[in-house]
């Protein structure tokens, strides 16, 4: 009798993946605990601190780090700058996953998440939260359509792929419009608390600051994501792409700094920056890390042409945005002392761990690299 020896296939799982799976599972457990038992044993939220880390980080950071999707979609599809096409699909993937994480975080944060459908039926046209909610849901659907071509290519659904490509321009225009609206509307939410918010952050220009800071970090996030993903999964981004992204980031950071300083000077509140208070020091830190240092790096011609230095500037911009949004949601607001509960942190860390795993899976299994030459008309 002839025996046949079958090869043994070993699927190696890295330590990093195991850690991400554990953190995602822990976050899912914390979320389930919150849905079953309510807020009391899961969070340190209170009547004077109704918005904690889930809003200050998951929402206020999750939305702007996804802004690279609408920035690059407009650049490639509307302005036809084809050199950025090779990094468009990864940026759309980042945006789509970012919004999914925002939605999941909101379902954890909402007091009655099972009533989320009420917003679709009982419209409150005077509420900034209504506008944000509708835009987030609609823009997530738009991002799915924008990102669907690699999925359809993988599945071999040619007819549907051709239809999606035919409607790509109006879909991109709708996406840019929706993203612009709710990036600024997030700032509008805080206009209703002028007496609760520290004057270093409270201004009628908050919608504009939120929009410009989102565009700036959109460039920074694309730089960060491209560098890290190509380091992990292989390949290389052309230096001219990094330099173009760096120019866009430098312009928007300069505009952001001008708006912030000009607004404080007009209000006569520049002295608050150097008051020596905790709020003043945090304001200095957020702008030093997220605006001044990246601008200083990119103003040096040698650094502006160096991919490693562009990456450092993008990383600083991303960290500065995180600090700014945490300052807005936590540091600037009056109220009871608040430190996030360990299970609040577990939900946040679990969501981002799941997002990292989903991004890695998509990068390995979907055709996310595009050749710009095949799309030039």
State pLDDT tens for residues 18-36: 999 999 999 999 999 998 8
Phi and psi for 333 in degrees, rounded to 5? -95, 135
Which domain, by its residues, includes 43? Answer: 18-367
For the residues of 177-241, what is the DSSP string, one character each?
HHHHHHHHHHHHGGGG-TTTB-TTT--TTHHHHHHHHHHHHHHHHHHHHHHHHHHHH-----HHH
**With bands split at pLDDT 50, 70 and 90, how would you rate the model's confidence at 233?**
low
CA 149 – CA 371 distance, rounded (Å): 14
Task: Note whether residue 377 is domain-resident.
Answer: no
pLDDT of 40 over the 90 cut: no
pLDDT of 1 over the 70 cut: no
**With bands split at pLDDT 50, 70 and 90, how would you rate the model's confidence at 216?**
very high
Count other C-beta atoms under 10 Å from residue 181's C-beta. Answer: 18
- Are 359 and 80 in contact, with CB atoms under 8 Å apart? no
- From the list 329, 341, 317, 283, the residue with the least C-alpha distance to 57 is 329
Query: What's the confidence (pLDDT) of residue 11?
Result: 57
CATH of the domain at 95: 1.20.1630.10
pLDDT of 234 over the 70 cut: no
DSSP conformational letter for 365:
H
Task: Note whether residue 227 is domain-resident.
Answer: yes
- From the list 47, 241, 271, the residue with the least C-alpha distance to 39 is 47
Which is higher by pLDDT, 317 or 85?
317
pLDDT of 369 over the 50 cut: yes
pLDDT of 6 over the 60 cut: no
Task: Note whether residue 12 is domain-resident.
Answer: no
pLDDT of 377 over the 60 cut: no
Which is higher by pLDDT, 236 or 204?
204
- From the list 339, 334, 53, the residue with the least C-alpha distance to 202 is 334
Mean pLDDT of 85-104: 89
pLDDT of 8 over the 60 cut: no
What lies within 8 Å, CB to CB, of 100 at 6+ separation is 140, 355
Question: Could you tell me the two tokens for 205?
Answer: 């220009």
Q: What percent of the chain has pLDDT over 70?
A: 93
What lies within 8 Å, CB to CB, of 335 at 6+ separation is 46, 48, 49, 196
- Are 110 and 352 in contact, with CB atoms under 8 Å apart? no
Task: Note whether residue 10 is domain-resident.
Answer: no
CA 113 – CA 179 distance, rounded (Å): 23
Cα torsion at 215, 221, 226, 228 (round to 10°)? Answer: 170
Rounded mean pLDDT of the chain? 87
- Are 363 and 68 in contact, with CB atoms under 8 Å apart? no
**With bands split at pLDDT 50, 70 and 90, how would you rate the model's confidence at 42?**
confident
Query: What's the confidence (pLDDT) of residue 363?
Result: 85
Q: Is 25 exposed, middle or buried, given 0-12, 13-18 or 19+ CB atoms closer than 10 A?
A: middle
- Are 237 and 284 in contact, with CB atoms under 8 Å apart? no
CA 41 – CA 27 distance, rounded (Å): 15
CA 268 – CA 249 distance, rounded (Å): 28
Count other C-beta atoms under 10 Å from residue 215's C-beta. Answer: 24
Task: Note whether residue 248 is domain-resident.
Answer: yes
Query: At CA 97, angle to CA 94 and CA 99, rounded to 5?
Result: 105
Question: Could you tell me the two tokens for 270?
Answer: 């520049």
Task: Note whether residue 3 is domain-resident.
Answer: no
Number of compact structural domains in the chain: 1
CA 210 – CA 186 distance, rounded (Å): 7
**With bands split at pLDDT 50, 70 and 90, how would you rate the model's confidence at 269?**
very high
pTM metric for this prediction:
0.88
pLDDT of 227 over the 60 cut: yes
**With bands split at pLDDT 50, 70 and 90, how would you rate the model's confidence at 173?**
confident
CA 97 – CA 21 distance, rounded (Å): 17
Task: Note whether residue 189 is domain-resident.
Answer: yes
SS (H, E, C) 51-108: CCHHHHHHHCCCCHHHCHHHHHHHHHHHCCCHHHHHHHHHHHHHHHHHHHHHHHHHHH
- From the list 352, 342, 351, 332, the residue with the least C-alpha distance to 49 is 332
**With bands split at pLDDT 50, 70 and 90, how would you rate the model's confidence at 374?**
very low
Query: What's the confidence (pLDDT) of residue 328?
Result: 95
**With bands split at pLDDT 50, 70 and 90, how would you rate the model's confidence at 202?**
very high
Task: Note whether residue 373 is domain-resident.
Answer: no
């Amino acid at each position: 009798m002839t025996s046949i020896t079958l090869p043994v296939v070993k699927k190696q799982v890295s330590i990093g993946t195991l850690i991400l799976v554990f953190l995602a599972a822990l976050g899912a457990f914390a979320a389930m605990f919150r849905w079953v038992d309510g807020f009391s044993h899961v969070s340190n939220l209170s009547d004077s601190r109704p918005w904690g880390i889930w809003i200050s980080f998951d929402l206020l950071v999750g939305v702007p780090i996804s802004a690279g999707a609408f920035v690059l979609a407009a650049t490639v599809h509307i302005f036809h700058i084809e050199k950025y096409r090779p990094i468009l699909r990864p940026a759309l993937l980042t945006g789509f996953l970012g919004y999914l994480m925002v939605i999941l975080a909101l379902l954890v944060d909402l007091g009655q998440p099972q009533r989320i459908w009420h917003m679709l039926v009982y419209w409150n046209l005077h509420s900034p939260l209504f506008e944000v909610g509708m835009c987030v849901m609609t823009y997530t659907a738009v991002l799915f359509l924008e990102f669907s071509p690699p999925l359809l290519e993988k599945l071999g659904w040619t007819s549907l792929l051709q239809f999606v490509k035919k409607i790509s321009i109006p879909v991109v225009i709708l996406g840019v419009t929706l993203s612009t609206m709710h990036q600024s509307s997030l700032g509008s939410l805080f206009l209703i608390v002028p007496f609760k918010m520290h004057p270093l952050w409270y201004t009628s220009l908050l919608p504009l600051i939120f929009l410009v800071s989102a565009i700036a970090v959109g460039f920074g996030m694309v730089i960060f994501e491209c560098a890290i993903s190509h380091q992990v999964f292989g390949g290389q981004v052309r230096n001219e792409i990094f330099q173009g992204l760096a120019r866009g980031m430098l312009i928007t950071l300069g505009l952001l700094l001008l708006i912030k300083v000009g607004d404080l000077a007009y209000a006569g509140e520049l002295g608050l920056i150097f008051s020596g208070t905790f709020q003043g020091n945090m304001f200095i830190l957020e702008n030093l890390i997220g605006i001044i240092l990246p601008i200083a790096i990119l103003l040096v011609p040698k650094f502006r042409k160096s991919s490693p230095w562009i990456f450092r500037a993008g990383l600083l911009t991303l960290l500065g945005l995180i600090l700014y949004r945490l300052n807005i949601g936590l540091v600037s607001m009056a109220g009871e002392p608040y430190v996030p509960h360990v299970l609040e942190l577990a939900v946040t860390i679990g969501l981002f761990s799941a997002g990292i795993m989903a991004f890695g899976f998509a990068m390995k299994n979907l055709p996310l690299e595009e050749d710009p030459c095949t799309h030039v008309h």
